[in-house]
């Protein structure tokens, strides 16, 4: 059997993305409930450690001829390569907020890499006679999540013009991909059981767009109200999908819940700041502790599966041909 670092699928970076998303929620909460900075620091350190370990292992894996190409060509794993750069932008933004100002250069570099990869894989899908039946919500990641997370990160670290450009990329590709993806989900074949948790990503675009727009324009303007309305619609969709989620055995795709729901919770924290309501602090605590407990449960199940040797695919070939345990 290949060592673990030879079997890392791209979606392994969803762990760092989910943990950094949770840290970002606590960071947003700090504006409403001061004093939670130590929680942000602890989560950022853990998320950074996970990202660094995964990056080192993935670089070693991709040193094998054809390994990176096989991941890019994979209809499920390919889009998740972008999470390497998206998680890096999240971490850079968090470290900048914590006082490490040199992190702004990591945010800029990661945003450029996300743009390059997003454009390249979009062209790859076009040139490769893309099969819409293989499409899943993970296809939002390279350009939609990449653009919108970049918009927030670049604004936070001081690159406003670039942030506006990134916001444009994220919103336009969200409209284009969203229409195609919803049609595929409505009338196409059902997603494989192991990929059903990826439906949680449907909640992410309006919430991440809302977080970006708060960073760019921190007032409750018409754009913000529209994004809030669509986010609430997608929350209702997620509630309806709970019975479907309960049928799915635990697996790596469950980290889709972590980063998507963290984005929505972060957006809620921003609203508690820009449009305060009575009992806002209590609401913030309930939301933060609930989400933290949920992500903690996902993390605990992940560690348990790793210790049992059931989290990663058994062989590299499995992750290339069918996803194996990596889905």
**Residue 323: pLDDT above 50?**
no
Domain boundaries defined on the chain: 4-326
Say yes or no to pLDDT of 191 above 80. Answer: yes
**Segment 28-42 mean pLDDT:** 94
**CATH class for the domain made up of 4-326:** mainly alpha
> What's the pTM value of the predicted model, to 2 decimals?
0.92
What would the mean pLDDT of 84-94 be, rounded to a whole number? 98
In the prediction, which pLDDT does 313 show? 76
Q: Is the pLDDT assigned to residue 109 strictly greater than 80?
A: yes
Stronger pLDDT, 315 or 113, i.e. the higher one:
113
Q: What is the pLDDT of residues 241-298, one digit of tens each?
A: 999 999 999 999 999 999 999 999 999 999 999 998 999 999 999 999 999 999 999 9
- Banded model confidence at residue 129, pLDDT cuts 50, 70, 90: low
Residue 21's nearest CA partner among 134, 153, 120 is 153
State percent of the chain over pLDDT 70.
94
CA distances from 74 to 9, 67, 183, 194, 226 (A): 10, 11, 22, 15, 35
Three-state SS annotation for 71-89: HHHCCCCHHHHHHHHHHHH
Query: Does residue 196 surpass a pLDDT of 80?
Result: yes
Indicate the pLDDT class of residue 317, thresholds 50, 70 and 90. very low
Find out whether 72 and 21 touch, Cβ atoms under 8 Å. no
- For the stretch 130-175, pLDDT in tens is 677 788 999 999 999 999 999 999 999 999 999 999 999 999 999 9
d(CA 297, CA 209): 27
């Amino acid at each position: 059997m290949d060592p673990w670092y030879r079997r890392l699928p791209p979606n392994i970076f969803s762990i760092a993305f989910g943990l950094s998303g949770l840290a970002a929620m606590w960071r947003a909460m700090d504006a409403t409930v001061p004093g939670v900075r130590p929680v942000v620091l602890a989560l950022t350190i853990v998320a950074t450690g996970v990202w660094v370990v995964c990056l080192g292992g993935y670089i070693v894996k991709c040193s094998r001829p054809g390994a990176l190409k096989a991941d890019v060509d994979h209809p499920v794993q390919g889009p998740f390569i972008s999470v390497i750069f998206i998680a890096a932008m999240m971490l850079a933004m968090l470290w900048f907020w914590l006082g490490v100002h040199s992190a702004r250069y990591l945010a800029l570099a990661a945003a450029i890499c996300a743009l390059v990869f997003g454009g390249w894989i979009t062209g790859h899908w076009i040139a490769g006679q893309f099969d819409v039946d293989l499409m899943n919500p993970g296809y939002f990641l390279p350009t939609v999540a990449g653009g919108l997370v970049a918009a927030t990160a670049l604004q936070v670290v001081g690159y406003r013009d670039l942030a506006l450009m990134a916001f444009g990329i994220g919103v336009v590709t969200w409209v284009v991909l969203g229409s195609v993806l919803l049609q595929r989900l409505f009338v196409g074949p059902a997603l494989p059981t192991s990929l059903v948790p990826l439906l949680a990503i449907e909640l992410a675009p309006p919430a991440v767009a809302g977080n970006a727009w708060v960073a760019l324009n921190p007032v409750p303007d018409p754009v913000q109200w529209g994004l809030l309305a669509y986010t609430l619609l997608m929350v209702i969709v997620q509630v309806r999908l709970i019975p479907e989620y309960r049928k799915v055995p635990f697996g790596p795709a469950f980290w889709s819940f972590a980063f998507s729901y963290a984005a929505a919770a972060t957006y809620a924290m921003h609203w508690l700041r820009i449009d305060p309501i009575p009992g806002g602090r209590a609401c913030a605590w309930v939301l933060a502790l609930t989400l933290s407990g949920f992500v903690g449960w996902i993390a605990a199940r992940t560690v348990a599966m790793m210790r049992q040797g059931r989290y990663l695919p058994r062989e590299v070939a499995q992750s290339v041909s069918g996803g194996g345990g990596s889905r």
